[in-house]
Every structure is written in structure tokens, then in C-alpha cells.
Structure 1
């Protein structure tokens, strides 16, 4: 057996994949620990893992997220990414040193693509290093990085895709790479490029945990990338539904889940307006809305808000999901067979929305189309149109594409190839 250190940064969507893989490795007898920034450390401890807290400032990370114009100010796929990296960059050198010291006690380092200190730590101590990541948007391919009209001709779609990837790579190299390479210089390590694309993937083994029904494998991906399928986490030991929530879910009426993701904050006027418009549209259609966000309690005649709920507990009950296009939320809805209305606002949301739309399981409303009337029409089509039937069809195939066990198999094979599997101590 082996000692495995798993590290991530970013949102809870990134952490959930690491939790699922960590639980599977622990079930197989490996000793698994997590190395997490302060903003995620508590969640890892709640799930029963040994957690090493990395240097960081949760207040600074929260401030960076509040600085993102969300979601009615302007669409910000690039600016939102840079804001998050800028919030973490002052801590990257210290995080890399801390990770490197921890790695001396472990046989394998597993990181997400969002943990920008992992590559430096692995280079410093030469530990076997693998990447397990959930976001196919960081892998340039023939797929468009943006949501395009379905009527767009194939030749034009391919041309726009090439332009989109080239623009994204140029922007990331110019405005994001310098933030990360600054800490590399402080550690005496050479600079690298494409940090928010393929530059932060392990060159030895990188595992994409995304459903093929969501994003099929591309011949343009780097050769070390393996696609295993989404790894749903089904733990959440500390979560229990309140009696009020249980009564709300069991009450009559079609249920619509509304969430803006774990990166969103609900205290600004933009997100408050989003929630208000969504809740208004749901109630006009005679349905009930469960808002998963920062507030708690009843927010309308037929709506309720909770700060957190495991999606697998509520999505099977839903007639639709309105969300931001987070890669984990999209795939949880696909597994549940729930039609989706996606309102992308930043990061990889536009790519994810395009994939869900092409799979036939979602309708997408872009920034310029936001209004209660537009959302009301779109939600009606999602709940009662062909998308609902298509979502059920795709779910049957998606449930055969869960990749937790295959991901653990690949990691074990990698450790054996590196001579890092031991007898049970």
C-alpha cells in the first residue's frame, strides 16, 4: 500500500473530485491525506480526512471573488480567472515550500489543475506526481470554447473554435502566466507557460474526470491525458436535511433547483437580482424553487434557500436546474437526468454550457438575454420541451461512465511503475 497526498485549490467542485478519489484509494487500503488552502480545509476535515492546511488568506480569496462582475455587469471568462489567480499568487511560493515538505512523507502527490503550487513542489522534491482534474475546458481541442448558435455552419464553428482557443491562450500567457512565474522565480525554478491550460498538468499522468457524454475525448489532447469519467462524491457525513427542508421537498409541486455555484457570493446587487429573477420565473410557472446559495430560509411563497445541499439528494426530485455552468453542476444534472437552463458568467462556464447544449440536455441564456421574460420563456421550454426527454436519455448512458474506480486503477498502476507501492505497514 502507499501514502498518498491529495491537494487542490479553487472551488468546492474541484475538491469534490479529490474527495471521491481519496475515498476510493482509502477503501483500497492506502493512507490518504489532503493538503488544502484555508478556504477548503474545514470541508475536508468534515469528511473525515487528515488535512494539512496550506498557507493562504480566505479573506483575500473572498475579496477577489467579490471583485468579479457577476453576473449582470459583464461576462468575464478571462477576468474572473485572473482575479482568482491574483488572490492566490502572493501565497504560491509559500504553498509550494509547504507542499514540498509534506511530500517528503508521502509516496504520491495527486493535484487538481487548479492547485498552482503542485508543479513546483513536485519539481523540488522529485515525488511521483499525477493530476486529477474535472475541467475539460483547459484542453484545447476542436470543440468551441464558447457557446455558439446551433445553426452556425460546421466550417464556421471550426474556424471560430480555432480563433477562440488562440485568443484564450494569448490572454492567459499575457495576463495570468506572469503571476504564477513570479513565485517560480522566488523558488529558483524556470518559468513555464499556459498555467491555466495544459501547463499545470503532470507530464507523467493526467486524468480527466469528465463524462464522455459531456465532453468526448479529442485526438488533440496531450498524450499523458486519460479520460475516466466523472467521479461523484457521495459522502457528506456532516450534512443532514433540516425538518423544514424535508417538508419543503415533500410538498406538492414541481421543483426547480437554482444555484450560482460555490464561487458565487450572494450579497452583491448582481447575484441578488439573478436570484430574484429566477425565483420570480419559477413561481409564475407554478413550480417551487430551492435556492442553493448564501442565505437560508423562505424567500418567497413557494421558495426556500439553503447554504448547501448535496446535489444527489435533490436533483432526482427536480423538473429543472437553473445554474451558472459549473463543470460539476452540469455533470451532476446529467447523471440525474434533469434538464438544465444555464446562465454562464465566468471562468469555464461558457465552454461547459456549450457542451451541455450540444448534448441536448440544456438551453443557454447569455448575458445580453437576461430578463425575467426571457428566462420565463426559456425555463418553460426546458421543463416541458424536448430537452426534458433528451436529459433522461443521456442520463442512462452517463451513469455507465462514472470513473472513480478507473481513476484509482490508473493511480495505482502509476505508483507501481514508480516503485511506490508497498506492503501493508
Structure 2
């Protein structure tokens, strides 16, 4: 049995799938600790994981030394055999080096190749160079050599492990022209909290009414520039579908209740609680949400906001399960026309169902736990 520390951001799209890997590791006999913000302690307790609160995760590129101190204090109190870290966090990877602890990194988004990263390549290179200087200074302060891996200067791969990097993305969403292909990378798929039974028909769970259920998903990423667009599409959805035949459920931030023009349900459910009821999901295009839609066989309208969202939206469109609505196209008329096209064409639902039945056979959390255990056993044999 190994004592394993998992260090992750508090964001739902990060902490929820990573916890599922922790659950599988405990079932394989390991002692697993979750190190994250105190707000997610209840998730660790619900899933029978040990918990230790740390801070400084909200903005991974800042407060690296502060997080490093928090992680180091934990390691000094609790000897650790393996660190599993969110690949966007550099501090746990540095701590692993400092204490000679092997590490595994986990990524919950697409590892885009440098050429596929949005924006100006020259600007991106300058930002990466500045980040690398910052990391190297922190490493020097801790008597470590400069980083030699070029990926470590990228925000999404700052905590990349040289031993094993798990990418929690379904193969169906991978376009090899846009992602990194590296020997240590393993594309294992999504790690949902629950897997629904397979289905061969288009019906959903019986309800007392016949309403068309639309789930509107919002992002938990605290970026100011996304707030205006999020508010716009939430408000537009609540106006367009303000009819008795619809039920609109806004999943995410309860504070959005104040901006809606009607009174839809506003809640903070996990996908496995609400998606079985949904006929359509309107989402910002985060990888975790898209994968939940594929898992439950739900057609989508995707409003891409983040760096990899457009690439993911294009892939979902190629799969025949979604329509894309760009942020500058958000109007009541365009949104309703997208809805009508999906609602009137059964192939969207049929395609979604076919993919759902395929991805339900995957077990990424168990596969990940086995890969991690094999790594531990291999290192033990080497000793």
C-alpha cells in the first residue's frame, strides 16, 4: 500500500474527475489524501478520502512559492510515496523534486500543440519565456536546477510529470492535428462520478410533465472577461425559452439568478444528477461538460469561450451531436434557430446515443489507477 497525495485546483472540472481516480486508488488498497481548497473538503469526505486544506490554487501562475510551502508542510508531517498533481500546478511538481518523491500529472483539458494554441505565437512565446524565468527563480531559491522540459513553461503543463501524464479526455474528442503526442502521455478518457446504464432508445426518465428540458451550463473559471458572455447567454436562454413547454435549468453559479428575466431553476448539481433529465444542453464548451453530454447522449449547443473550446466544439460538430454558436452571434433569433435545427433533426440525438453507448464502456478512473499502481510497483521492483 502506498500513501498518495493528490493536489488539485478547486474548479469543478478539475477536482471532480481527479477525485474519482483517488476513489479507485483507495479500492486498490492505497491511502489517498486530497490536498486542495477547504471548500472541496466535503467532496473528499463523501468519497472516503483523507483531506488536507491548502491555498493559493485559484490562479496557478501566481503564488507558486506560497503553495509550495503549504505542500511542503504537509509532506513534512505526512511522508508521501507518490504525488499526483493537476498539471496546471507547478508547486506540487517542485515539491516532488525537492523531496525526491515520484509524481504523476493529470490534465482535464486538451494538451494543445504549440501551433494550435490560440493567439499570437510570438506573444505566447514571450509569455512562456517570462513564466519560465519565474519558475527558474523559484527553483533556484530552493536549490534546484533550471527546468529543462519546454512544456513546463506552459500554463497547462507547468506541473507535467516525466513519468506518467494522464489526459482525461475521450478519444472521440481528440484531433491528432491539434494535440501533443508524447511517450509519457496517456489519453484515458473522462472520469465521471457515475456511469448510466446503456440504452438503445431515445427516451429519457419518465417525468410528470412533458416539458422539453434545457440545461444551461456555466463556467466555474473566475475570469472577468468570461462573465459578460456568460451573463449574455444565460439571459438570452431564459428569454428565448420562457414558455410553458420548456423547463430551463441553469447549472452553476447561483449568483446568476439575479440576471435572468424569468425564474428558471438555478442549482449547483453534478452532471450525473441533472443530465439524465435533459433534452438539450447549452454550454460554454468546457471539456468536462462536453464529455458528460457525450456520456449521457445529449445534443448540445456550444458557445466556445476558452482556449481549447473552439477545437472541441468543431470535433463535437464533426461527431454530429452539436451546433456551435460563437459569442458574437448570441441573439435570441440565432439561439432559437439552432434549437429548432437540433430539435427537428433526430440524427443529433441518434448520434449522441451511439457515442454514449460506446464511451460508457470506458473506465478511465480504473485504467488510471492501474497505470499509477503499475508505476509504483515498477519503481519498487527497481529498488
TM-score (norm. length: structure 2) = 0.83
Match of 1:100 in 2: 72
CA distance in 2, matches of 1:119, 1:254: 47
Within 5 Å, which residues of 2 pair with 1:358-377? 358-377=318-337
Match of 1:262 in 2: 220
1:5 and 1:35 in contact (8 A); partners too: yes
Which of 91, 94, 99 lines up with 1:120 in the alignment? 94
Match of 2:55 in 1: 55
Show structure 2 runs of 5+ residues with no match. Answer: 196-205
Match of 1:401 in 2: 362
Match of 2:164 in 1: 205
Offset, 1:375: 1.1
Match of 1:18 in 2: 18
Which of 113, 128, 131 lines up with 1:140 in the alignment? 113
Match of 1:158 in 2: none
The Cα offsets for residues 75-117 of structure 1, whole Å up to 9 and x where unpaired, read as: xxxxxxxxx445xx12x11222332343451111111212221
2:129 and 2:153 in contact (8 A); partners too: no
CA distance in 2, matches of 1:176, 1:360: 39
Change beyond 3 A, Cα 1:127–1:8: same
Query: What SS class does the counterpart of residue 123 from structure 1 fall into?
Result: helix
Offset, 1:48: 3.6
CA distance in 2, matches of 1:351, 1:394: 18
Within 5 Å, which residues of 2 pair with 1:331-350? 331-350=291-310
CA distance in 1, matches of 2:184, 2:35: 24
Match of 1:391 in 2: 352
Query: What SS class does the counterpart of residue 186 from structure 2 fall into?
Result: strand
CA distance in 1, matches of 2:314, 2:132: 26
TM-score (norm. length: structure 1) = 0.75
Which of 170, 189, 210 lines up with 1:229 in the alignment? 189
Q: Output the aligned Cα RMSD.
A: 3.3
Within 5 Å, which residues of 2 pair with 1:310-329? 310-329=270-289
CA distance in 1, matches of 2:302, 2:37: 29
Change beyond 3 A, Cα 1:286–1:97: same
1:139 and 1:197 in contact (8 A); partners too: no
Change beyond 3 A, Cα 1:196–1:370: same
The Cα offsets for residues 206-246 of structure 1, whole Å up to 9 and x where unpaired, read as: 111211122266895111111222111249xxxxxxxxxxx
- Report how many aligned residue pairs link the two structures: 362
Offset, 1:253: 0.4
1:133 and 1:207 in contact (8 A); partners too: yes
Change beyond 3 A, Cα 1:335–1:270: closer
Query: What SS class does the counterpart of residue 188 from structure 1 fall into?
Result: coil
